Amino acid sequence: MKVRIMTLEDIEDVFEVEQKSFQVPWTVDAFVAEIEHNEKARYVVLEIDGKVFGYGGFWKILDEGHITNIAVHPDVRGKGYGNYILEGLLKIAEEEKIHAMTLEVRVSNKIAQKLYEKYGFNPCGIRPKYYQDNGEDAMIMWRNEKN
């Protein structure tokens, strides 16, 4: 098992994870655009025995990071792999001198909230009706280097 930078060759596996993880998945083209054209994008994959089973990413905006998504394939969920993906993102953030990170997470997704809290993210607000698929609210979480 290893966490490494995402490449275009990973997109097919990443898209499979995406489809199995989200009701409104990103498209293949969206991932290609992130890798090829978005200079703010930083993405990692979780590879097990040569196959991608998870990924995560954030956008670097000045000295802050905005986590766009983290997902683990349903076949390997519950084994702590989300920790490794988040740690990979935080390592990149540290290397790039990013001092604060934010994200949105479904208010119903208590498992993800616990993961983020474990790494110093704190709830700071709500975005009402944030999610397109069902209008669910999103919890805004922030992590500051000082925490």
| Number of neighbouring beta carbons within 10 Å of residue 60 | 19
Instruction: For residues 82 and 72, give the distance between their C-alpha atoms in angstroms, rounded to a whole number.
Output: 7
CA atoms within 13 A of residue 9's CA, in its CB half-sphere: 5
Adjacent-strand bridge partners of 67: 58
> What secondary structure letter does DSSP report for 24?
S
Among 9, 104, 130, 131, the active-site one is 104
Closest by CA to 25, choosing from 55, 47, 63, 66, is: 55
| 145 in catalytic set | no
Cβ(8)–Cβ(14) under 8 Å? no
Catalytic residue among 116, 117, 131, 145: 116
Q: Report the distance separating Cα 62 and Cα 75, nearest Å.
A: 36
DSSP helix/strand/coil, 142: strand
Active site residue 84: no
Catalytic residues: 104, 116
